Amino acid sequence: MFICVGALVWLFGILMVAWHVYRRRASLNDAGIAPTELKFLEQQYRRRMQTSALTITLGALISMCDYLPQIRTSPGFAAAYVAGLLLLSMWLILLALGDAVASRVHMSQSLRMNRQMRKALQRAIDELRQQQADAVNIIDDRSRIRPRE
């Protein structure tokens, strides 16, 4: 029973590692990436690899429950082992939450910068339109036929 659950957790961790490596290679091959974005992606990669490695470790430790004779013979050892698994699980959840918060903060900053850039571009467009309208008005004023006085 424990070996199946542990194997699934372990396999999930392996798949997460493969996915993170694939995504990192894709981001490193992107020449148009900003240095700040690259720094964030490197930190995110480290956080996620740590989480994936902990998932693999947790899966291996869960699988070992079937093979440790002390779990069946010593209730104290079994309680300590399960408590350790629970602590590792909680640490894994905290790492995942930390990554989610860091990603959310980064996304908020990126969106704020994009909004500011958009406002600046919109002001520049409005200025150009106003200048164009003023130039057209000047040309219209010059080309009107005025009655002789």
Of all residues in the chain, what percent carry a pLDDT higher than 70? 93
Distance of alpha carbon 104 from alpha carbon 97, whole angstroms: 10
pTM equals: 0.76
At 104-148, the pLDDT tens digits run 999 999 999 999 999 999 999 999 999 888 887 776 666 665 656
Give the residue-averaged pLDDT of 2-16.
Answer: 94
Residue 113 is predicted with a pLDDT of 93
Residue 33 is predicted with a pLDDT of 85
Residue 29 is predicted with a pLDDT of 86
